[in-house]
Structure 1
Amino acid sequence: MTHSEQSDEDVKDVVQRYWNGRADAYDDDGISGVHDAEQREAWLSVLRTWTGEPSRRVLDLGCGTGTVSLLLAELGHDVTGVDLSPRMLERARAKAREADRSIEFRTGDAEAVAVPDNAYDVVTARHLIWTLPNPSNALREWRRVVRPGGRIVLVEGYWDFPQPWEEYREIHDDLPLYHGRPPEALVDFVADHGLEEIEHESLTEPVLWGEEPEQDLYIVGIDVPE
């Protein structure tokens, strides 16, 4: 089967299997977990600035093991986390119980969010959009579920892998944003979907990632029109 012949379901099955397999060790990666108080405080500061004053209804898409969901809950937001990987969500629920945080975690597809229109004040997604076969569909969905005057917050990057990951070799051509994008290019992509109030900021401070990042990492805030 060539890349062009694969259905979205086939692509998402590969993505789901890959992240299920990463779940147990995912937080060990400095770029994925939070490992000390300094790193946690740095992320709390970033998220506080970009998501606004609590308590807001926040939908954390591609939540993985719940790293960002728990930080948002710590800030006082009412958080729901959604991920395609059941194994990731098992880890997220365990971490929420350990931290005594009340967070709802659901299995779901970021391109077809099973919630009503205008249900949330904020949608967040960290390192998600590059994994999606239809990022344009995703943006339309995220705009749909955020109330007018709300916000979409994306933590993204530009990594431009020299070779596709082995596990992604069969599907990387089906992922339009697989290599990430420089911030200006992602802003242009978002603006092409009718969202024009967009700002971005670099997130390359080592304290955020537990190491000196090798990629161009940044945050994007998108204001949904009233």
Structure 2
Amino acid sequence: MTLLQDWHAMAPYQVGLTFITMVREELRTNASGLSPEQLAAIRRTYRIERGNRPVADHNYARRLEDIIEFLGCWNGQFPPRILDAGCGRGSESILFALLGADVTGIDFHSHNIEIARRRGEYYSNLAGNALRLRWIRGNVLRDVDEKYDVVWAREAITHIFPVEGFLDVVTGVLEPGGFFIVSDVSRWHPGWVLLDAWERGLFRRRYSVMPDKASGDEVLYGDENAVSVRWLKRQLRGRGFDIVRVRHSTFFVDAVMPGWAFPYAKRLERVLASSPVTDWLGMVYTLTAQKAG
């Protein structure tokens, strides 16, 4: 199994595809020694048993392009410090560490952190050296007190409430000139609107109340509370950020696309990505913003 030693010579998209292949092999063999319940949960996340895997892998790799490109251009004296906000089961934290970053992953759920820690140990052993990985079981609105060069949030802000509070935290922990890279579902994508209404109803609360076992307090947890790209841009500009780039992806969903159509769909995606109506066509956005220096 390659550990991405020659990743600087690869395109960011190819790095993402190579990494997801590594993850699939890890999960296929349960090399990280997860329990059956843990393994089942993470295998669902990466569609090991279902869906059109080439499409799913393509969509995932597209979301990673910007941050991999950033890491490839990093020329600082020390490794870039990355906060993976809402790190889940640790995949991106592990990827960034494999690419040389100093990574802190934080997640509210203790079972996610347990899985992430086990997987981090496996990849450190595989690499033959300890990866720069630190895990925090905590509330990202309260338990982050260090400075970072990058804050990464994939499918996290839909679960953080209020989002404005999280953006304030991001602004506070980023070094001047640091980057916030967020990848999430677009609020007004027709597919998301229909799915959201079907699964959760037209009239629902944007959050639920969950107990925080560490503090004994109750916290608000976002209930798939997606935001629009325009709203996010406005909020970030109001906090002194410049919007560097917005990429739209997931024009085609793996669960419904036949495999034979995928090569043609990729060509069509390149056309759609340059269209002014991509806010409505790409279910997922990846936004990169830079804090004022």
Same fold, judged at TM 0.5 (above) = yes
Q: Are 1:223 and 2:290 counterparts?
A: yes
> Greater CA radius of gyration, 1 or 2?
2
Among candidates 135, 141, 150, match of residue 111 of structure 1 = 141
The letter of the residue matching 2:105 is G
Among candidates 237, 244, 250, match of residue 204 of structure 1 = 250
* Structure 2 CA distance for partners of 1:50 and 1:212, relative to 1, 3 Å: farther
TM-score if structure 1 supplies the norm length? 0.71
Instruction: Tell me, in whole angstroms, the C-alpha distance in 2 between the residues paired with 1:171 and 1:143.
Output: 23
SS in structure 1 at match of 2:94: helix
Partner of 2:44: 29
Among candidates 147, 153, 160, match of residue 132 of structure 1 = 160
Aligned residue pairs, count: 197
Cα deviation code 1:177-208 (max 9, x no counterpart): 844134233222333434233421113276xx
* Structure 2 CA distance for partners of 1:90 and 1:43, relative to 1, 3 Å: same
Higher relative contact order (CA 8 A, sep 6+): 1
Partner of 1:19: none
* Structure 2 CA distance for partners of 1:89 and 1:140, relative to 1, 3 Å: same
Structure 1 residue 104: Cα displacement: 0.8
Structure 1 residue 170: Cα displacement: 6.4
Gaps of 5+ in 1: 1-21
Q: Are 1:88 and 2:99 counterparts?
A: no
Partner of 1:145: 173
The letter of the residue matching 2:151 is V
* Structure 2 CA distance for partners of 1:76 and 1:99, relative to 1, 3 Å: same
Instruction: Tell me, in whole angstroms, the C-alpha distance in 2 between the residues paired with 1:51 and 1:205.
Output: 26
Among candidates 222, 232, 235, match of residue 189 of structure 1 = 235
Correspondence 1:65-104 to 2 at 5 A:
65-100=89-124, 102=131, 103-104=133-134
Q: Are 1:155 and 2:183 counterparts?
A: yes
Q: Say whether the 8 Å CA contact 2:71–2:99 is kept in structure 1.
A: no
Instruction: Tell me, in whole angstroms, the C-alpha distance in 2 between the residues paired with 1:125 and 1:220.
Output: 10
The letter of the residue matching 1:143 is T
Gaps of 5+ in 2: 1-36, 125-129, 187-191, 209-219, 258-280
SS in structure 1 at match of 2:285: strand
* Structure 2 CA distance for partners of 1:194 and 1:78, relative to 1, 3 Å: same
Instruction: Tell me, in whole angstroms, the C-alpha distance in 1 between the residues paired with 2:175 and 2:282.
Output: 32
The letter of the residue matching 1:138 is F
Instruction: Tell me, in whole angstroms, the C-alpha distance in 2 between the residues paired with 1:197 and 1:87.
Output: 34
